Amino acid sequence: MRGRGLVGAAAHEVGVRRLQDSFAAIPPGQPVRLAKRTSNLFRPRGQLSTPGLDVSGLDGVVSVDVPRRTADVQGMCTYEDLVAATLPHGLMPLVVPQLRTITLGGAVTGLGIESTSFRNGLPHESVLEMDVLVGSGEVVTTSPDRKPELFAAFPNSYGSLGYATRLRIELEQVPTHVALRHVRFGDRSALAEAIAAICDERTYDGVRVDAVDGTVFARDEAYLTLATWTARPAGTPTSDYGGQQIYYRSIRERTEDLLTTEDYLWRWDTDWFWCSGAFGAQHPLVRRVWPRRWRRSDVYHRLVGWDRRLGIVDRIDQARKRPARERVIQDVEVPVEWLGEFLDWFDDHVAMTPVWVCPLRLREPDGPGSARHWPAYPLDPGRTYVNIGFWGTVPVGPGARDGVINRAVEEKVHALGGHKSLYSEAFYDPATFATLYGTATLDAVRATYDPDDRFTTLYEKAVRRR
């Protein structure tokens, strides 16, 4: 595992000053956004007419406090670099989103989730304090006890309240390996019941469960992958899904597996779940010549960006007289009791497989961010939700309303008392959006910290794509 090393406090302060200088250079009335080369967003944005915020000095780990199990991390640090700094100490963030280039600041101001979320909640719940560049141009420190209104409103605000320059986060102890069990379910009611029981008991069939996610391949074929932290049994081989083998296929092919902790954290990244197949990267002949260093989600994301700009796939479809397609790239949360109904509806109206499922709960009331109200993404404490992720295209034919499938997904999720992440396209009307994403609270916080409206509102960002 290669890491960049710690950047240190002095270099961090230089990066913060550079960021503030770039903010001051943006004329009033001009949009303020990050000047970053990569993004994990899937909604189009307007082009900036002025330079963005310079975050080039804010992409590392400042320090790791091993005894206290905490780390001070810059906002633009990727989870790949963060894990590289903590894992040698036997530590990892409480929630590590499954794609290497997701940044810590992005996961907190956006929405991150992974297989430990059923016991550790969402990434912002393990934040102890953070420094945020706000609309006044100041960098303010916020925590549950210091400027708590900003601390509570920041998660899921997507840069509409500012940008985190430093975050102090909790870490947890982990061993060197992860043992997996892939448990098949032929009935969706049984799948939901098993998820609910695992979230309550944190065991399955008498064995401790430290992490859980699932994959749905068909109406009668779904799997929960149950992970248990473990030391490597002597002589036991580990699997490698960064080479010729493909992780998601292994779920159907074997009932047990063993990975290093690092390989477990990035098991989905090599093939961007299963989306690498769209580029031919899963074909054995192509895979042999596709460099291993390019089998990464950020490489595939750049390919998608090129296609969007050039319209290559759309033109090929038109030339071959195929029906027009809509990109349906979303993550949604529904209460576990409605998981089966949503999956059945999804089969009937979207018909995309596989889909990813991952249970989550707000943290129990023993952590610094637990049992708090997060107004921009309100979830009920003690309630089990299931994230459903689906990423692909669906034929819609000529004359279809813009976003017809995505709009239907929004309506169904809302009807089931769920929420949708805002990293992709959204179509809510202002009133519904305000109800779901707490914009009244965000507006009150903006009035304090961004009195001149330097940052774009959440609705403008997420729905109007500005």
Residues 23 and 133 both lie in one domain: yes
Domain check: are 321 and 340 in the same one? Answer: yes
Amino acid at site 161:
L
Res. 275: pLDDT tops 60: yes
Residue 287 lies in a domain: no
Residue 289 falls inside a structural domain: no
Q: Do 244 and 264 fall within a single domain?
A: yes
296 found inside a domain? no
157, 161, 233 from 360: Cα distances, Å:
20, 25, 30
Is the residue at 300 inside a domain?
no
37 and 55 co-located in one domain: yes
> What is the residue type of 339?
L
**Which of 135, 6, 150 is closest to 65 using CA atoms?**
6
Q: Assign 3-class secondary structure to the chain.
A: CCCCCECHHHHHHHHHHHHHHHHHHCCCCCCCCEECCCCCCECCCCCCCCCCEECCCCCCEEEEECCCCEEEEECCCEHHHHHHHHHHHCEEECCCCCCCCCEHHHHHHCCCCCCCHHHHCCHHHHEEEEEEECCCCCEEEECCCCCHHHHHHCCCCCCCCCEEEEEEEEEEECCCEEEEEEEEECCHHHHHHHHHHHHHHCEECCEECCEEEEEEEECCEEEEEEEEEECCCCCCCCCCCCCCCCHHHHHHHCCEEEEEHHHHHCCCCCCCCCHHHHHCCCCHHHHHHCCHHHCCHHHHHHHHHHHHHHCHHHHHHHHCCCCCEEEEEEEEEEEHHHHHHHHHHHHHHCCCCCEEEEEECCCCCCCCCCCCCCCCCCCCCCCCEEEEEEEEEEECCCCCCCCHHHHHHHHHHHHCCCEECCCECCCCCHHHHHHHHCHHHHHHHHHHHCCCCCCCCHHHHHCCCC
Q: Residue 106 sits in a domain of what CATH number?
A: 3.30.465.10
Structural domain range at position 73: 8-174+447-462
pLDDT in tens, 198-209: 999 999 999 999
Residues 83 and 126 in one domain: yes
In a domain, 416, yes or no: yes
The pLDDT mean for the chain works out to 91
pLDDT per residue as tens digits for the range 158-171: 999 999 999 999 99
pLDDT of residue 100 exceeding 90, the answer is yes
Report the range of poorest mean pLDDT among 55-64, 133-142, 273-282: 273-282
Q: Of 58, 122, 56, which is closest to residue 93 (Cα–Cα)? A: 122
* Per-residue model confidence as pLDDT tens digits over 406-415: 999 999 999 9
361 in the same domain as 214: no
In terms of domains, do 32 and 148 share one? yes
The 10 Å Cβ neighbour count of residue 366 is: 7
Structurally, the chain folds into a number of domains equal to: 3
> Would residue 299 count as lying in a domain?
no
Residue 148 has pLDDT above 80, yes or no: yes
Based on the fold, state whether residues 34 and 46 are members of the same structural domain: yes
User: What's 373's domain CATH number?
Assistant: 3.30.70
| Judgement on whether residues 224 and 317 belong to the same structural domain of the protein | no
Residue 411 lies in a domain: yes
Q: Tell me whether residue 230 is in a domain.
A: yes
Do 56 and 142 share a domain, yes or no? yes
In the structure, what pLDDT confidence band is assigned to residue 278 with cuts at 50, 70 and 90?
confident
Same domain, 91 and 159: yes
Same domain, yes or no: 86 and 161: yes
- Work out the angle between the directed axes of helices 404-415 and 339-349 (0-180°, nearest 10): 160
Q: Which tops the pLDDT comparison, 341 or 301?
A: 341
Cβ-based burial of 133 (10 A; exposed 0-12, middle 13-18, buried ≥19): buried
Give the mean model confidence (pLDDT) for residues 223-248: 91
Distance CA 438, CA 414 (A): 15
